[in-house]
């Protein structure tokens, strides 16, 4: 059986790891209970990326790095994403991974012209987004946690824009049939988002943001979290992977 790979592109604040866990753990919890083996590859730490043919699906995490820094491990993931797209491997990039997908497929990534987006935001689906399997069962608009300084400034050619808001026009997009990027964080819980607001207070105050309001307006975002379970279900439908049904029992899927 193929593995579902979580590619670790960074770590959260050292002060929060013991209390909250780290990026790859948040993603794995969000995906749900899979019988497909889940393997974490620490790409930032120098671990080798798997060959596309052994991947049932791939999720690339966020990072505190910037895509435009062009760090060797990051450029390596970017090249590898092109291979995954060519092989038709289901792919989900979150925040940093979203931006890597954008650039790997021919788009443009850079600092957002309006500065940083931090906090719980409303995200709206396009008509294509409302029909897309990644957003199945998710209303429009929905609330999502976000924290990013860079973004996909220009989508890749032929990419399908799936979600946006007044601040960020490219909150989600798809390349081909099975490669998605989401700028928001479906893996974040309320507690995680609150930690990010607290840890970034100095930068937020410099930018003129109302930190108290940000702290007080962090809800749970269960609809955004469904992006991860929807991705797991998509992988299930395309490969021999099992996912829990709504009753909590495990149901096995086959590629047929």
Q: Which residues contact 227 (CB under 8 A, 6 or more apart)?
A: 92, 134, 135, 138, 182, 186
| Choice among 117, 185, 200, 236 that is catalytic | 185
Is residue 253 annotated as a catalytic residue, yes or no?
A: no
Q: Is 95 among the residues known to form the active site?
A: yes
Contact present, 39 and 6 (Cβ < 8 Å) = yes
Regarding beta strands 160-164 and 117-125, do their DSSP bridges make them parallel or antiparallel, or are they unpaired?
Answer: antiparallel
Question: What does 69-119 look like in DSSP terms, one character per residue?
Answer: G--HHHHHHHHHHHHHHHHT--EEEETHHHHHHHHHTT-EEEE-TT--EEE
Which is catalytic among the residues 36, 44, 78, 95?
95
Q: Is 222 helix (H, G, I), strand (E, B) or coil?
A: helix
Q: Which two tokens stand for residue 185?
A: 């964080």
In the block, which residue shows the tokens 């719980």? 120
How buried is 12 (Cβ within 10 angstroms: 0-12 exposed, 13-18 middle, 19+ buried)?
Answer: buried
Count CB atoms within 10 A of the CB of residue 9: 28
Distances from the Cα of 156 to the Cα of 69, 101, 164, 180, 191, angstroms? 20, 9, 16, 12, 34
Report residue 163: phi and psi, to 5°.
Answer: -155, 155
The verdict on whether 205 is a catalytic residue reads: no
Report whether 227 contacts 134 (CB < 8 A). yes
Of 24, 44, 78, 187, the active-site residue reads 187
Return the active site residues: 95, 185, 187
């Amino acid at each position: 059986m193929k593995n579902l790979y979580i590619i670790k592109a960074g770590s959260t604040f050292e002060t929060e790891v013991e209390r909250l866990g780290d990026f790859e753990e948040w993603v794995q919890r969000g995906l749900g209970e899979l019988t497909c083996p889940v393997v974490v590859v620490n790409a930032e730490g120098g671990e080798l990326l798997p060959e596309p043919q052994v991947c049932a699906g791939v999720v690339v995490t966020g990072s505190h790095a910037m895509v435009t820094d062009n760090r060797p491990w990051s450029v390596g993931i970017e090249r590898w994403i092109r291979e995954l797209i060519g092989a038709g491997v289901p792919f989900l990039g979150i925040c940093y991974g979203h931006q890597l997908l954008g650039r790997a497929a021919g788009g443009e990534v850079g600092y957002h012209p309006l500065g940083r987006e931090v906090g719980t935001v409303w995200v709206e689906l396009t008509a294509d987004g409302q029909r897309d399997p990644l957003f199945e069962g998710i209303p429009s608009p929905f609330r999502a946690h976000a924290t990013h300084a860079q973004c996909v400034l220009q989508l890749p050619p032929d990419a399908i824009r799936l979600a946006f808001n007044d601040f960020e026009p490219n909150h989600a997009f798809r390349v081909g049939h099975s490669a998605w990027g989401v700028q928001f964080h479906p893996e974040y819980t309320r507690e995680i988002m609150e930690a990010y607001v607290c840890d970034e207070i100095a930068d937020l105050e410099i930018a003129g943001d109302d930190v108290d309001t940000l702290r007080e307006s962090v809800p749970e975002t269960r609809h955004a979290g469904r992006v991860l379970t929807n991705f797991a279900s998509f992988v299930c439908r395309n490969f021999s992977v099992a996912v829990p049904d709504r009753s909590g029992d495990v149901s096995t899927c086959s590629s047929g």
